[in-house]
Amino acid sequence: MEKKQKLRRSRSDKMVAGVCGGLAEYFDLDASLIRILYVLGTFFTAFAGVLVYFVLWILLPIQTYDEID
């Protein structure tokens, strides 16, 4: 049976806090793509993405060492 994946901040694929890396792992996408989409979304929403990033940074738990592939 497949283990259900949880949304967490990444320990291994992070540039600032691991939010984009965690989203990329959860949705099985490339982290660079998530980061580019995040920057574009932040720019086109009058920098509301910055607030979203900080909220996710606070709310998402960090990945534990035994969850790292």
CB 47 within 8 A of CB 55: no
Angstrom distance (rounded) from CA 62 to CA 60: 6
How much is the pLDDT for 68?
73
Residue 38, both tokens: 């995040």
pTM: 0.84
pLDDT digit of tens for each residue in the chain (69 aa)? 466 788 999 998 889 999 999 999 999 999 999 999 999 999 999 999 999 999 999 999 998 887 776
Neighbouring residues of 2: CB distance < 8 A, sequence distance ≥ 6: none
Q: Where are the domains of the chain?
A: 19-64
SS3 state of residue 57: helix
Region class of 28: left (phi > 0), else alpha (psi between -120 and 50), else beta? left
